[in-house]
Structures are given as structure tokens and as C-alpha cells.
Amino acid sequence: MKRFSRYLLPTLLCFVVGWIASIFQSDALVEWYPYLVKPSATPHNTLFPIVWSLLYICAGLSYGRLWEIGEARFVGLWFLILGLNFLWSPMFFYMQSPISGLAVILLLDIALLSYIILTYRSSRFASIVMIPYFVWVCFATYINFYVWLFN
């Protein structure tokens, strides 16, 4: 049970943080975001919760693996990633500021890439499981940049 909780607790934390961040999005998703000029590759809104659920599981598994092997050096970086991920929603949606969102998401890109590189030696699993998260956030960065540029 102890091993299982090392994976479950960080995963649940990701979902809680994601849920709280979604509160900042609710009004803007109806009143602001639909009217923005977005790239044609922008996924339908129904895809986002599915993808983020999978990414939160990846992030939780990554942290859980580091916790299991006693690797505490990267805990701060993992929490920075979670914090930046959270901060993006209020900046982009609540403040309706694509430039603020872009600044946050660029920092998130850097933090994710750093995490992937730095954790690789300690745990390939913890590193590799974060690659889909990084790829998705890079895609989100492109969308955010496009929205900032054309609105």
C-alpha cells in the first residue's frame, strides 16, 4: 500500500490543482475564448480534459517513481512545473492575457525540458513519462503564441 500511495498521492495532487485551475477558465471558455482567432490545428475543447487527465497521470507517475527510489533532488522542479501549469490558466483565461499566458508557458516549457533532462540519469521512467507532457505543452505554447499574435 505504501508503494501505491507514492504514485497515487502526487497523481491526485495534479488532478486537484488542475481542477482548481479549471475554475479560472470556466467563464472565459464561454465568453472570451470561442471568439479568439486560433490556429486551425487547435483541438476541440472536449479533447483538453482527456489529454490533461492522461498528462496528470504521467506527472504523478514520474514523481511517484522518484519518491520510490528516494530521489528528492527534483521535487522542487516538479512542484515548479505543477505551479506554472496552474498559473497559466489564471493568466491566460481569467486575466484574458495571452501575453501573460505566453510568458508562463515558456517558463513551463523550460522547466519541463530541464526536468526531463535532469531526471534521466536517476530514473529513465520518471524522465520519459514526462515527454508527452512536454510535447503537449509545446503544442499549447504554439496555440498561445498564435492567439497572442493574431488577437
For residue 99, give every residue at least 6 positions away whose Cβ sits within 8 Å of its Cβ, in sequence order, or none: 148
* Of residues 120, 130, 128, 133, the one with CA closest to residue 71: 120
Give domain status of residue 22, yes or no.
Answer: yes
Give domain status of residue 140, yes or no.
Answer: yes
In the chain, alpha helices (H): 2-23, 26-31, 47-68, 75-89, 98-119, 124-128, 131-150
pTM comes to: 0.95
Give domain status of residue 59, yes or no.
Answer: yes
Give domain status of residue 35, yes or no.
Answer: no
Domain count, the chain: 1
Range of the domain at 126: 2-26+45-150
Which DSSP letter does residue 15 get? H
64-95 pLDDT, tens per residue? Answer: 999 999 999 999 999 999 999 999 999 999 99
38-63 pLDDT, tens per residue? Answer: 999 999 999 999 999 999 999 999 99
Give domain status of residue 36, yes or no.
Answer: no
Q: Does residue 2 have a pLDDT over 90?
A: no
As a whole number, mean pLDDT of residues 133-137 equals 98
Give domain status of residue 40, yes or no.
Answer: no
Question: Among residues of the chain, what percentage have pLDDT more than 70?
Answer: 100
Give domain status of residue 37, yes or no.
Answer: no
Give domain status of residue 38, yes or no.
Answer: no
